[in-house]
Structures are given as structure tokens and as C-alpha cells.
Amino acid sequence: MFLRKFGKNEFNIPVYYQAGVEDAGPCGSYPVPYTVPDSVMRSIQTENKPVLVVVDTSAEVKRNITRLNTELGEIFTVFWLGSTPDMAQWQACVFILHTPWTAVLVDTQSQIRGYYAPSTREETDRLLVEMKILLKQY
């Protein structure tokens, strides 16, 4: 009762790699805190919106992404990474996207905010909730 009257429920989603990337492997060094390079963001984004970068182009993922667009509107950009010649390098080194995740959410400050496998309804629902939280912050 106290929280309902005086409190404010606020949720937040994490910002990944604020302390750096632990296992850079063959990708070289990363700045701290890590953000997606401006050159990459300029090539995938034309407006100042969060970007959902998707690797999986299966029918189920496309259907779930369409559902997100229907529920949220065009307030974020979807970038299908499979359509770029640099896909493998961008997937591993820029977006640090590894199995089982096939999508990454990047906010307007080029920070990675979440990893998802939107081939399932549960993951798509989690992505939907986290996008609403992110969009409320901006």
C-alpha cells in the first residue's frame, strides 16, 4: 500500500561492457566503456532511434519482429545483419553476438542494452518489455 501511494516503480535494463570486454579474443582491444563504433552506427541507422540488430532471418524471427513493430510502432530501427558483407566480423567483434543469441539491442548512445533469441515467443516478449523500458528512458 505504501509503495502504491508514495513509491514509484522504475525498471532499468543493463548497459553491457561498462567495465570493458573481458574476452576480446582475435577482435583486438576495446575502449572502456565499450560502445558500438560511430562508423558502424552511421551505416546502420539513419535516425536517432534504438537499433535492433538481427542475424537470424528465419520466418519465425521475421514474424516476431513484425509483431514488435506492430506493438511499438516504428520507434526503433531493425537492421538485418545477414545482408552485410562484414557480417561475421560485425557479429563477433562489433556486436559481440554469440550463440544462442541472434539479436542485439543498441540504444541511441551506441551502448549494447541486451541480447535476445527472437525465434521464441518468450524471448520476443522479453525484448518487447525491455524495449518499452528503454524507450521510456529516452
**Tens digit of pLDDT for each residue in 5-20?**
555 555 789 999 999 8
Which domains are delineated in the chain?
A: 13-20+29-137 (3.40.30.120)
Cell of 37: 563504433
pLDDT for res 22? 79
pLDDT for res 5? 54
pTM of the predicted protein model: 0.87
Q: Which of 15-19, 24-28, 32-36, 113-117 bottoms out in mean pLDDT, i.e. has the lowest?
A: 24-28
- Which residue is listed with cell 540504444? 107
Could you tell me where the DSSP H helices lie in the chain?
2-6, 38-44, 59-72, 87-89, 121-137
